[in-house]
Structure 1
Amino acid sequence: MKKMLLILALAMISFANAQKGTILVGGNIGYTSEKIDREIALSKNNAFEFSPKIGYQFHDNWTAGVEFSVVSSKSTLGEDEGKANNFKTGAFVRYTMPLNETFSVFADLGAGFQNQKIKNYENGSLVSDNKADGFYTGITPALFINMKKGFGLNFSIGGLGYQTLSYNDDDYSKFFVNFGKTVNIGISKNF
């Protein structure tokens, strides 16, 4: 039994060697739309997210790189409207463990700077304009499915993280664990 486990471990390591020295390009694109018909007015929320990343696989199982995220959202309640733009940029480190030629599991550890701008309008007039800066960090475990020649799909179901934002008068911080609460599907390609 021990010999069989050793052979299996060596086979997994040999699959991992195929990616060393490559460039990883990947990311997520997301869109959400929500309508709530309330007694006082119709409420609408729309959000678009684009989150690319690029890294270099410097070791059999390790990748390091940069990540970027832009989120733009708009909310309306009757004649009132809110617009928010979020921007994140930072670095990530990924540890990947191949399970076989098709499947791998990995964990991304990312950290960086974030910025947020929120504008609120009542009856078409600007009533508040808030800006905030802060930091974020998080770890996200995921599953990679190799479709063909290093191109594949990434699936994650949440993660663990911490973020801060400092507004003019207020400070905001958030710690979260959201395993099973969110589902993300992304694509990636090794060159």
Structure 2
Amino acid sequence: MLKNLIAATLYTALSLGAIPAAAQDMQSVMDLREDSLQKLGFHTEPKEVSALPFTTMDGAEETLADHAGKLVLLNFWATWCAPCRKEMPALDALSAEFDGKGFAVLPIATGHNPTPAIEKFFETAQIKELTARLDPKGAMARDMGVLGLPVSILISPQGQEIARMTGDADWFSPSAQAIVTELLNEYGLTNDDSVVIH
């Protein structure tokens, strides 16, 4: 309970003390969308995100507020969803590329996804960086307006949705890496211009 209160306080402080990137000139970020990332839609105004909890694989509760202060790529997926499985290795590579740079990828398996099936898929696909989270009853996905899978949502460090895409994408493409780099710069999360775009 105390952890959630601290996270909520931090979220509020960040919201009051920073200018959301969507309110700034985002055209430079949108211009970076190429190939499968062209369908990534940026909002003209940031949107609120769900406060509902999800769980780690070992059953610990988290909320998006626990990730305040980072640029988050929230990915709703399922083990039975072929496009979800197709894009997961690229999400894993993106997470590794930006590790420690103010960026986090949160894959949330929504609906019925048995733990053994998730573990087997992560092992088979050699997913090493990502840690799966669970939304077993789909409550958070519904609260976020997710109607199909996969859905990827970019969340600002202030905890607001700034962009969304339904369908799979190559999240390790030069376009994806450039978008993340530009957003990290927009939010002042990194001064590291040495990120190499593969």
TM bin, normalised by shorter chain, reads under 0.3
Report the structure, 1 or 2, having the larger helix content. Answer: 2
Ranked by relative contact order (alpha carbons within 8 Å, sequence separation 6 or more), the top structure is 2
TM-score, length-normalised on structure 2?
0.24
Q: Which has the larger radius of gyration?
A: 1
